[in-house]
Amino acid sequence: MTIATRRVAANGFDFAVDEAGEGDHLALCLHGFPESRFSWRHQLPLLSEMGYRAWAPDLRGYGGTEPKPREISAYLIDRLMEDVAALIDASGAKRVTLIGHDWGAGLAWTFAANRVRPLERLVIMNVPHPAVMAGQLRRNWAQMRKSWYMFFFQLPGLPERAMTANDARAIRNAFHGMAIDKTNFTRDVLDRYAKDAQGPGAIRGMVNWYRAALRMGGKLRGPWPVIETPTLIVWGEEDAALGIELLDGTDDYVRDLTIERLPNVSHWVQQEAPEKVNAILRDWLATPR
């Protein structure tokens, strides 16, 4: 199945979007940090085969999407939700499934909870519900230690220099070092992410997601109505950044919840174990709810 890259004008941005399939049944895939639309390369063909028009955009501040705002306030979750809504509107879709990983999953959680646009299904990969995460950071010292980078990213300038030094070695190590099965993290794949992060204004925009989240909060602070949309969580159990206990309590915030845990798989779940993730997606998306 061919994946084509197109440009989509939405909310004042020119989004770079990888697309597979056609029609008005949209699967919108939101990537995380320090990734890009490229992280969904294994899922777009599957979604297209299942009848979806699958879109994977470079989100605000990332990759080929322009412009890349410099100010931290441009990355408030409220502004990011506007991007998602505008992309859905631009697609002309009548039905929407929202799929997110890492920061893209955090954005998807918040979008679904706030009911910005109607959603048919919600798929979350390796990020807890924001309310659960906030609670764990207040009382779970082990998770606080794992989340040290979120606080490091609040410093001015230094995180950008550290992440891009030595041809973005830290970006490369984030994938290759954390992955349990490193097969899909070839030199070419790591080069792609390193190149994206070193583009003009990119790393500042990428890090500003964290700065806006901790300094401004916005809709990330709740309140958190129960999500009525059927929701699937796919979680690689060997996540070095997010403990498996972060799944506890999720059912307080989701009416119809399915959790699929993958042993011996890292945080980069849909890239590291695409066959397993795709099998879960195929079964769950095809099952009437």
pLDDT of residue 139: 83
pLDDT of residue 140: 82
How many other CB atoms are there within 10 angstroms of residue 263's CB atom? 8
Question: For 187-195, which contacts have Cβ atoms below 8 Å and span 24 or more sequence positions?
Answer: 189/38, 192/36, 192/38, 193/34, 193/35, 193/36, 193/38, 193/168, 194/167, 194/168, 195/168
3 state DSSP class of 160: helix
pLDDT of residue 107: 98
pLDDT of residue 142: 86
Q: How far apart are CA 22 and CA 48, in angstroms?
A: 8
Number of domains in the chain: 1
Domain hosting 99: range is 4-286
Render each residue's pLDDT in the chain as its tens digit; 289 residues.
689 999 999 999 999 999 999 999 999 999 999 999 999 999 999 999 999 999 999 999 999 999 999 999 999 999 999 999 999 999 999 999 999 999 999 999 999 999 999 999 999 999 999 999 998 888 887 888 889 999 999 999 999 999 999 999 999 999 999 999 999 999 999 999 999 999 999 999 999 999 999 999 999 999 999 999 999 999 999 999 999 999 999 999 999 999 999 999 999 999 999 999 999 999 999 998 8
**Beta partners for residue 231, in sequence order:** 122, 257
Q: How far apart are CA 262 and CA 239, in angstroms?
A: 10
CATH label of the domain that carries residue 60: 3.40.50.1820
pLDDT of residue 278: 98
Q: How far apart are CA 203 and CA 150, in angstroms?
A: 15
Please tell me the pTM assigned to this model.
Answer: 0.97
pLDDT of residue 159: 97
pLDDT of residue 136: 86
Tokens representing 176 are 């290759």
pLDDT of residue 143: 86
Catalytic site positions: 102, 210, 267
Q: Is there a contact between 247 and 124 (Cβ–Cβ < 8 Å)?
A: no
Tokens representing 212 are 């806006």
Burial class (CB in 10 A: 0-12, 13-18, 19+), 150: middle
Q: How far apart are CA 142 and CA 137, in angstroms?
A: 9
